[in-house]
Chains A and B, each alone.
Chain A
Amino acid sequence: MTKKREVRIRVPLLTRVEGEGALDIAIRAGRIEQLHLRIFEPPRLFEKFLQGRGYQEVPDMVARICGICPVAYQMSAVQALERVFDVDPGDHIRAWRRLFYCGEWMQSHSLHIHLLAAPDFLGFDSVTAMAKRYPDEVRRGLRLQALGNDIIRLLGGRSVHPVGACAGGFHRLPAPDESCELLARLQAARDDAEALLAWTARLPLPDDDQDFVSVALRHPHEYPMNGGRLVSSAGLDIAIEDYPQHFTEFQVPWSTALHAGLHGEPYLVGPLARLNLNLDRLPRPVRQALDATGIDFPSRNLFHSIVARAAEILLALHDAIAILEQPPAHAPAAAAVSPRAGTGFGCTEAPRGILWHRYEVDAAGLIVEADIVPPTSQNQARIEQDLRQSLQHFGLDHDEQALRRRAETVIRNYDPCISCATHFLRLAVERR
C-alpha cells in the first residue's frame, strides 16, 4: 500500500533553532529520493570584514557572528592571536577563561534543553506551553541559564557580546568580592544541575542506534574546552594546525553554509561527540552522576545529546565552583602583547562543537586573512545522514505530519546554529 506513495515534506522555516533554515524531503516508493537541509540565511561575510582590522578589534568583531556563543568565538580568536604573537597569558588567565567558557556552556546548553529541544520529547510546541505542565522543571532550567549568563557577566560585563576578553587575557579581572557572591550562588545550584541530568535521562527519547564518527578536542588532563589535540572515534589524533589536511569544506547548492567532511565523510561535533571521546576526563562526581542515569556512554544514540548537554552543565558548574573556590590570581589582567607577522591557529569547544580559527597577521598586527569554521557547518552533512537513517528507521509509511515532526526533532537535537554557520563563504576565489 505504501509502495507507490509519494510524500513531500516541506518545512519552510525551521522553528526552535537559531537562524533560518528549511527542510525538503521527497519520498517515493518507500525510498528517500531527496533530502536537503536548506540553509538560506544570507552570509554575513565576516572573514572579509576581518581583513585589514587590528588584532584588538578581532574579539569584538567575531563575537557578532553568534549571539548565543560569542565567548567561543572570542576564545578561539584570542588563542590563535596569542600563538601568532607568541604570548603566554599564564595559568591564572587560563583558569579565568575556563570559568568564562563554563558560563557559556551552562547558558547555551540550558537554553537548548529547555527552550528548543525538550518540548519535542514531551509533545509541546514551545517552552511556554511546556511550562504549564512542567513549571518546576522549566524554572530550574531558566535558573541554570541565568547563572551561566551571570558567569559570563562577571568576566565580560554582559552575556551577549561580552566586552572583557582580549589577546593576552582580559581587560579587567573581577574583584574578589564579586566572585565570592557568585560562588555562593553556584554552590547552591548543584542540586538543580544534578536533578536536571537525571531528568533528561528519563525523558522519552527515541531509541536510534547509528554509526557515526565523533570529533572533539582532547586535553591531557581536562575535559576539553580551551585546548587540546583534535581526535576522532576513528583514530584521528592531530594538532589543530593540521585540520586543513584532514578536513575539507565544500559548497552545496542548497546551503549558504559550507559543508565539511573528515576524509570526505560526515562527522559529528558537539556535546555527544565530546562526551563520547572524553568520558575519562570527567571529574569523579560528574562521572558518578552520569553513570547513575543508567545510560551507557559512549552512546550511539544521537538523542542522548540532550543528556550529554545536561552532563556538561553539571561539569561546567563543577569546574566553575572549583575555580572560584581557589580563585586564580587577580593580576595581571592581561599579558603584554606586541604584534608581529605570522599565522596562528585556535580551536576551542564551543557549546555546539569545535570552532576552528586561523589568522594571518602582518607586522603591524593587522589581519591579512581569516578563516573560521563553525561547528554547525561541520554538522550539516551528519544531520542529513542522520535524517536519512532515522526516518528510515522510524518508518517512511508514517503520515506526513509524523514524519515532519520526527525530522524536525532530529534536526533540533543537533542544536544547529544557522546564524553561525552562514557567516562564512570562503573568499579564496576572489583573489584576482
Chain B
Amino acid sequence: MTARPRIAVHKFSSCDGCQLAFLNAGEDLLTLDRLVDMVHFAEAGPVDEAAQVDIAFVEGSISTQADAERIRRVRERSGFLVTLGACATAGGLQALRNLADGAGWLAGVYAQPEYIDSLATATPIREHVRVDFELWGCPVNARQVLATVRALLFGVRPVADHQKVCMECKRRQAVCVLVTGRRPCLGPVTSSGCGALCPRFGRDCYGCFGPSESPNTDALGRRFEGLGLTPESIARRFLFINSHAEAFAEAGHKWMGKHDEKA
C-alpha cells in the first residue's frame, strides 16, 4: 500500500444508507480525509471511476446489465474490495424481485422497457466478482465500517463476527421478546451487529445483519408455528431484508412450499 491509501466508494442499487456511515461520521470524516486519498465517492464529491485504488467499498446490488459490467471494471481496478451492507452483500430488500414468478410481473412493470435497463434480478456483488470482505447490515454499523478502514490502513485483515443477536441480548440483559413476548423474533438465527436493537425496543428482530453462524432456521420456523403464525407469514419473516442470503432463502422457500401445499 502507498503512503496514503487510495479509497473509492461505489454505489449500485441501494438507498444510500450505508454510505452514510461515512457521511454521518462527523469529525471522523475529516480525519479520514487526512489519512486516505478519497478518489471516488460521488455523493461526497470526488469522481474518478477509472482510478486504480487500494480499497474499494461497494454499496448496492446489481440489477442492470450496465451495472454488471461496471462492477467488473471496479474489481479490476481495486486491490481490496469490501461490500457495504445487505444490498451489496446479499442483494438487499430489492432482491425480493428474485422471488417473483419469473418474468411475469416484471414484463408488466416495464410497459416501456426500451427506457429502462433492468435485469429480472437484484443480486449481491459476490455473484459477479470476487469479494475480499463483506460487511452485513441494513444499514451497516458505522463503527464496524470505521474499524474495517482502520484495520486495512494498518494492513490487518478485518475480522467478521457472526454471533447471534441472542448473545447480544444476554450481554445487554434485554428481556427475550420470543420467550416473554411471544413475538416471532429472528434473533436466534441472525448475526448481531445492531446491538440487539429491536429486542431492546421490545420488538422482534427482523434480520438486518443476515444469517448468523450455524443458524437453526428449521427449529425457529417451527417455534413460530407454535406461536400461531401461518406458513405464509413465517416465510415472510425469512424473506425480507436478506431474502437472498442462503439460509434465509432456504427457510423462506420451505415455508412458502408448505403454504402452497395448504392452498
Chain A residues with Cβ under 8 A from B45's Cβ? 15-16, 119, 125-129
| Chain B window 227-256, contacts with chain A (Cβ cutoff 8 Å), 1 for yes, 0 for no | 000000100100011000000000000000
- Contacts A161-B138, A164-B201, A427-B109 given: A256-B24 contact, CB under 8 Å? no
Q: A320 at interface (Cβ–Cβ under 8 A)?
A: no
Chain B interface size range: 35 or more
Chain B residues with Cβ under 8 A from A107's Cβ? 24
Shortest B205–chain A CB gap in Å is 9
Pair A67/B112 contact, Cβ less than 8 Å: no
- Contacts A42-B117, A48-B109 given: A67-B139 contact, CB under 8 Å? yes
Q: How far is the CA of A159 from the CA of B122 in the complex (A)?
A: 26
Shortest A4–chain B CB gap in Å is 32
Spot the interface stretch: A53-61, A82-90, A260-268, A388-396: A53-61
Chain B residues with Cβ under 8 A from A160's Cβ? 17-18, 20, 24, 139
Closest residue of chain B to A47, judged by CB? B109
Closest residue of chain B to A417, judged by CB? B16
Chain A residues with Cβ under 8 A from B15's Cβ? 64-67, 419
Shortest A186–chain B CB gap in Å is 17
- Contacts A13-B42, A49-B93, A128-B38 given: A419-B14 contact, CB under 8 Å? yes
In the complex, chain A residues 163-215 whose Cβ is within 8 Å of any chain B Cβ = 163-164, 166, 171-172
In the complex, chain B residues 94-139 whose Cβ is within 8 Å of any chain A Cβ = 94, 96-97, 100, 105, 107-112, 114-118, 122, 138-139
Q: How far is the CA of A46 from the CA of B112 in the complex (A)?
A: 18
In the complex, chain B residues 149-183 whose Cβ is within 8 Å of any chain A Cβ = none
In the complex, chain A residues 406-425 whose Cβ is within 8 Å of any chain B Cβ = 419, 425
Pair B118/A42 contact, Cβ less than 8 Å: yes
Which of A53, A67, A425 is most buried by chain B, counting CB atoms within 10 A of its CB? A67
Pair B236/A70 contact, Cβ less than 8 Å: no
Q: B202 at interface (Cβ–Cβ under 8 A)?
A: yes
Shortest A163–chain B CB gap in Å is 5
**Which DSSP category, helix, strand, loop or mixed, fits chain B's interface?**
loop
Pair B94/A45 contact, Cβ less than 8 Å: yes
Q: How far is the CA of A67 from the CA of B87 in the complex (A)?
A: 12
Spot the interface stretch: A137-145, A225-233, A277-285, A351-359: A137-145
Chain B residues with Cβ under 8 A from A119's Cβ? 45
Q: A115 at interface (Cβ–Cβ under 8 A)?
A: yes
- Contacts A57-B236, A128-B29 given: A42-B20 contact, CB under 8 Å? no
- Contacts A67-B139, A163-B201 given: A45-B43 contact, CB under 8 Å? no
Pair B233/A43 contact, Cβ less than 8 Å: no
Chain A interface size range: 35 or more
- Contacts A256-B115, A425-B109, A427-B108 given: A64-B138 contact, CB under 8 Å? yes
- Contacts A45-B94, A138-B30, A145-B24 given: A163-B203 contact, CB under 8 Å? yes
Pair B105/A20 contact, Cβ less than 8 Å: no
Q: B33 at interface (Cβ–Cβ under 8 A)?
A: yes
Q: How far is the CA of A146 from the CA of B107 in the complex (A)?
A: 43
Chain B residues with Cβ under 8 A from A158's Cβ? 139, 194, 197
Chain A residues with Cβ under 8 A from B202's Cβ? 171-172, 333
Pair A68/B20 contact, Cβ less than 8 Å: yes
Chain A residues with Cβ under 8 A from B30's Cβ? 128, 131, 138, 142
In the complex, chain A residues 24-79 whose Cβ is within 8 Å of any chain B Cβ = 40-46, 48-49, 53-54, 57, 60-61, 64-68, 70
Q: How far is the CA of A400 from the CA of B201 in the complex (A)?
A: 54
Closest residue of chain A to B13, judged by CB? A42
| Chain A window 116-139, contacts with chain B (Cβ cutoff 8 Å), 1 for yes, 0 for no | 100100000111110100000011
Q: A17 at interface (Cβ–Cβ under 8 A)?
A: yes
Q: B198 at interface (Cβ–Cβ under 8 A)?
A: yes
Pair A44/B13 contact, Cβ less than 8 Å: yes
- Contacts A44-B93, A57-B240 given: A161-B23 contact, CB under 8 Å? no
Q: B260 at interface (Cβ–Cβ under 8 A)?
A: no
Q: How far is the CA of A96 from the CA of B208 in the complex (A)?
A: 25
Shortest A356–chain B CB gap in Å is 19
Chain B residues with Cβ under 8 A from A126's Cβ? 44-46
Q: How far is the CA of A41 from the CA of B62 in the complex (A)?
A: 11
Pair A43/B118 contact, Cβ less than 8 Å: yes
Chain B residues with Cβ under 8 A from A172's Cβ? 200-203
Q: How far is the CA of A284 from the CA of B50 in the complex (A)?
A: 52
Q: B89 at interface (Cβ–Cβ under 8 A)?
A: no
Tell which of A48, A125, A157, A159 touches B105, judged by Cβ atoms closer than 8 Å: A48
Q: B144 at interface (Cβ–Cβ under 8 A)?
A: no
Chain B residues with Cβ under 8 A from A171's Cβ? 198, 201-203
Shortest A206–chain B CB gap in Å is 20
Q: B226 at interface (Cβ–Cβ under 8 A)?
A: no
Pair A66/B16 contact, Cβ less than 8 Å: yes
Q: B11 at interface (Cβ–Cβ under 8 A)?
A: yes
Closest residue of chain A to B86, judged by CB? A64
Tell which of A65, A67, A163 touches B18, judged by Cβ atoms closer than 8 Å: A67
Chain B residues with Cβ under 8 A from A60's Cβ? 206, 240-241
- Contacts A42-B64, A48-B105, A164-B201 given: A146-B24 contact, CB under 8 Å? yes
Q: Pull 6 A–B residue pairs with CB atoms less than 8 Å apart, ordered by A.
A: A14-B42, A18-B16, A44-B13, A70-B17, A111-B23, A430-B109
Q: Give 10 nearest A-B pairs by CB, closest first.
A: A67-B17, A430-B108, A126-B45, A128-B33, A44-B94, A160-B139, A429-B111, A157-B197, A67-B15, A160-B17
Q: Given A125-B45, A163-B198, A256-B116, list of 20 further CB < 8 A pairs?
A: A13-B49, A14-B42, A15-B43, A16-B42, A16-B43, A19-B16, A48-B97, A53-B236, A60-B241, A64-B17, A116-B43, A127-B44, A128-B29, A142-B29, A159-B24, A161-B139, A171-B198, A256-B115, A419-B16, A430-B107
